[in-house]
Amino acid sequence: MNVPFWVWMATIGGFVVLLAIDLIIVDRKPHEVTTGEAARWVCFYIGCAVLFGFGVWYFGGHGPAIEFFTGYITEYSLSIDNLFIFMIIMASFAVPAIHQHRVLLIGIVIALVMRGAFIAIGASLINNFVWIFFVFGAFLFWTAYSMVRKKDEEEDPENAVVRWVRKAFPVTKDYHGHKSIVKIDGKRWLTPMFVVIIAIGSADLLFAVDSIPAIFGITQDAFLVFTANAFALMGLRQLYFLLGGLVNKLVYLTYGLAIILGFIGVKLVLHALHEYHVVPEWLDINNWLSLGVIVVVLAVTTVASIAKARRDPESVAHMQMNLRAEAPEQREERQAQEEGNAIVPSSEQEQGDAGKSS
């Protein structure tokens, strides 16, 4: 699609308006987001994405529209996997329920800006170097393999960026409302709110490394890539509150996402081979096939996950254990308490022995 500059600006302006509406209506007064409220906002954002897709169909034709819908579904499904990490981060930092929406809102705005930069770099690379499709394809193969291999490993909520922030700046132990920076005794301190926002934003940056090559395997149009990412991210916040603990019941989701990434990796490699005229024209994966495969894989893994959760509740309990992460301070405090509790019985025993001997 040949998208004029003013359309870019109007689209970005539209996203800013949506975020402003969300901030004014939902986050005007800090509160715990209910399931019903989250469901309405999820439907709202999905509706906006569908309307935008029909707009692309009307002005650009069915080809770009199918690319947008396929990219949007792919990004949204990959974003669901992000919810596992978001839940771990929220639990680790003990974020108050009334402030979780603001944390996600600011973190995802940061992520959207960073993804925009990634998309610009990726679009420049694929426009100038055909061989980059081989690199993207190989990376998706590796990512798919890693997702399956590391499925049962416990996630660390504190990545390198968060650890650096903790070392470089003083951080208060307690939250101070929704404030990110406070002044104590004339000295500026970061609050856990600031750290958790950095954790959310940097975690999504790592996910972007996987998802951006994936959507470039569906469409090379930077406008469609950006808008699909934006709609997926903006709907992710409310999806977090809607699904909540239900996400850990999708025990086969990781396998489904790995299949999707592997499939898109094949599509990327075939595209590169076509550019070099190595494979015949008929050996191709069109947009309709891509959309069908992605939808079927997601449907099958979701149904299979729900069936397994009903048949084997212990597997869900195992997933829930991985979400019970602790912040370093909480872990140290718990260990100290456990050590203290371990000492108390021995002291009581000594007193008891002394009483008996007397």
- In a domain, residue 36? The reply is yes
pLDDT tens digit sequence for 154-172: 555 556 667 777 777 888 8
Q: What is the largest CA-CA distance in the chain?
A: 97
| Mean pLDDT, residues 177-199 taken together | 82
Distance from C-alpha of 64 to C-alpha of 259, rounded to nearest angstrom: 24
User: Helices in the chain by DSSP H: which ranges?
Assistant: 5-25, 35-60, 62-92, 100-128, 132-149, 160-168, 192-216, 222-243, 253-275, 287-311, 313-322, 328-357
Under the banding of pLDDT at 50, 70 and 90, the label for residue 51 is very high
Distance from C-alpha of 257 to C-alpha of 293, rounded to nearest angstrom: 12
- In a domain, residue 160? The reply is yes
What's the alpha-carbon Rg for the chain, to the nearest Å?
A: 24
Distance from C-alpha of 178 to C-alpha of 27, rounded to nearest angstrom: 11
Structural domain of 267: 9-325
| 125-129, long-range: CB < 8 A, 24+ apart | 126/216, 126/220, 127/220
Total structural domains within the chain: 1
Distance from C-alpha of 290 to C-alpha of 303, rounded to nearest angstrom: 20
Does position 247 have pLDDT exceeding 90, yes or no? no
- In a domain, residue 1? The reply is no
Q: What is the pTM of this model?
A: 0.74
- In a domain, residue 352? The reply is no
Angle ∠(219,224,227) on CA atoms, nearest 5: 140
- In a domain, residue 101? The reply is yes
- In a domain, residue 345? The reply is no
Lowest-confidence segment of 120-129, 166-175, 254-263 by average pLDDT: 166-175
- In a domain, residue 131? The reply is yes
pLDDT tens digit sequence for 264-303: 889 888 888 888 888 887 788 887 888 888 889 988 988 8
Q: Looking at the DSSP assignment, which residues form a beta bridge with residue 112?
A: none
- In a domain, residue 106? The reply is yes
